[in-house]
Amino acid sequence: MKPLICQSCGFPFSAERRGTNRDGSKNNDYCLDCYKNGEYTDHHLTLHEQERRLLEMAKEHNEISLEEAQQIIRSLPDLKRWKMTNIF
């Protein structure tokens, strides 16, 4: 089974780390860090701020490589949370 990809942060996550819907059921689109109880954990996060967070993780915390951060950043506009079609 291929890993789930969070439709907010772009990171792969396991079934155990799925976010939760309002009714407590598991959500396959978002990881637990980004989505709890049917809402985003950081309501005011912008696409630009998400990009900055990824670069910071790569540069300062060594959680991911700079190449991995850049790859995820390129994929962000295609994720459900950031697609422009969601605003209509």
Range of the structural domain that residue 32 is part of: 4-87
pLDDT in tens, 52-64: 999 999 988 777 8
For the chain, the domain total comes to 1
pLDDT at 61 (0 to 100): 79
pLDDT at 13 (0 to 100): 94
- Number of Cβ within 10 Å of residue 1's Cβ equals 5
pLDDT at 86 (0 to 100): 53
pLDDT at 2 (0 to 100): 76
And the tokens for 11?
């990171």
pLDDT at 3 (0 to 100): 81
Higher pLDDT, 31 or 61: 31
